[in-house]
């Protein structure tokens, strides 16, 4: 079965359904942009008033914020339906039609929703990185650029894997949306320099939720703040952690999905 062709068809249908209500889609994108702008302004004024935050100036923090936003936006673009699965679809027994189709449930969930509102996050992220780069000296090497690109992709896949794991608990407990919200809120801390957090939080971001390796370190090396690491080795480490989390998320989903009850409660 050609899953790539099927995925393209799912995306076309999702886009078509959103284009029917163009104004709603534009309002959603614009709403995300406005929310991001206010968050960024808050960070800008706070850091600007204090000079630096653990050796990071305001433009370096904005660069990291933008990079993290890109990974979050990529995940948001492709895996947004996991939220409704976590909150309502399992509890209300609304996944029945998906089970009747001869396709893996996880594939259908991920393919059925192409969230155009995430474009707002990605636009902000790219804009922040371009804007802040005019005010900082970037340590541009092939290795650092490669690590950044690989890291941003791995970061998105790590976030999606964590969402799949948490969403899987809905098949057991009917709802896992509140837990998913807690985890997602915690992920927002990856937008800030790891040095400002206690040691145990840094450990979590490096080895449990490895966004530190996937996003913080490539940004830190490009900004010439983290200089004691080989970008090629770190690329492999980031890829290794990502593959482990993807595999783990699929295994947990496959096991827990067997607990689904179609009637809901």
The pLDDT tens digits along the chain (265 residues) read 587 888 888 888 877 776 666 666 677 667 777 777 777 777 777 777 676 777 788 899 999 999 999 999 999 999 999 999 999 899 888 888 888 888 899 999 999 888 887 888 888 899 999 999 999 999 899 999 999 999 999 999 999 999 999 999 999 998 999 999 999 889 888 888 888 889 999 999 998 999 999 999 999 999 988 876 789 999 999 999 999 999 999 999 999 999 888 764 4
Compute the distance between CA of residue 163 and CA of residue 202 in angstroms, rounded to an integer.
20
Burial track 129-149 (b if 16+ CB lie within 10 A, e otherwise): beebbeebeeeeeeebeebbe
Provide the pLDDT for residue 19.
67
**Range 179-185 contact pairs with CB under 8 angstroms and sequence separation of 24 or more:** 179/86, 180/82, 180/83, 180/86
Give residue 3's pLDDT: 78
Residues in a beta bridge with 112: none
pTM for the predicted model, two decimal places: 0.90
Q: Is 184 helix (H, G, I), strand (E, B) or coil?
A: helix
Structure tokens at 37: 């702008």
pLDDT at 21: 63
Write down how long the chain is: 265
Which pLDDT does position 52 carry in this prediction?
Answer: 74
Q: What share of the chain is helix, strand, coil (3-state, %, to 5)?
A: 75, 0, 20
**202 CB contacts (<8 Å, ≥6 apart)?**
194, 212
Six-digit token pair at 173? 């407990």
Per-residue model confidence (pLDDT) at position 1: 59
Check residue 25 and give its pLDDT.
Answer: 65
Closest CA to 148 of 120, 161, 128, 129: 129
Helix or strand run (H / E) with residue 87:
none
| pLDDT score for 30 | 73
Count of CB atoms within 10 A of residue 113's CB?
A: 19
Per-residue pLDDT at 148: 95
């Amino acid at each position: 079965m050609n899953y790539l062709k099927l995925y393209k068809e799912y995306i076309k249908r999702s886009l078509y359904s959103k284009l029917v209500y163009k104004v709603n889609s534009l309002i959603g994108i614009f709403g995300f942009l406005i929310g991001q702008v206010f968050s960024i302004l808050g960070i800008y004024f706070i850091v600007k008033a204090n000079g630096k935050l653990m050796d990071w100036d305001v433009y370096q923090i904005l660069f990291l914020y933008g990079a993290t936003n890109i990974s979050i936006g990529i995940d948001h673009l492709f895996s947004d339906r996991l939220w409704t699965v976590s909150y309502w679809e399992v509890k209300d027994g609304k996944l029945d039609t998906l089970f009747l189709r001869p396709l893996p449930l996880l594939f259908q969930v991920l393919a059925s929703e192409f969230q155009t509102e995430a474009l707002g996050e990605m636009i902000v992220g790219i804009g922040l990185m371009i804007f802040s780069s005019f005010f900082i000296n970037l340590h541009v090497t092939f290795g650092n650029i490669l690590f950044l690109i690989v890291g941003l992709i791995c970061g998105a896949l790590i976030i999606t894997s964590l969402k799949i794991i948490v969403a899987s608990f809905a098949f057991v407990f009917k709802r896992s949306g509140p837990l998913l919200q807690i985890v997602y809120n915690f992920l927002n801390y990856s937008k800030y320099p790891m040095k400002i957090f206690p040691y145990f939080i840094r450990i979590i971001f490096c080895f449990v939720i490895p966004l530190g390796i996937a996003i913080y370190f490539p940004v830190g090396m490009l900004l010439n703040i983290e200089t004691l690491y080989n970008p090629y080795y770190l690329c492999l480490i980031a890829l290794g952690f990502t593959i482990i989390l993807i595999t783990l998320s699929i295994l947990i989903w496959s096991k827990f999905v067997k607990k689904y009850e179609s009637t809901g409660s």
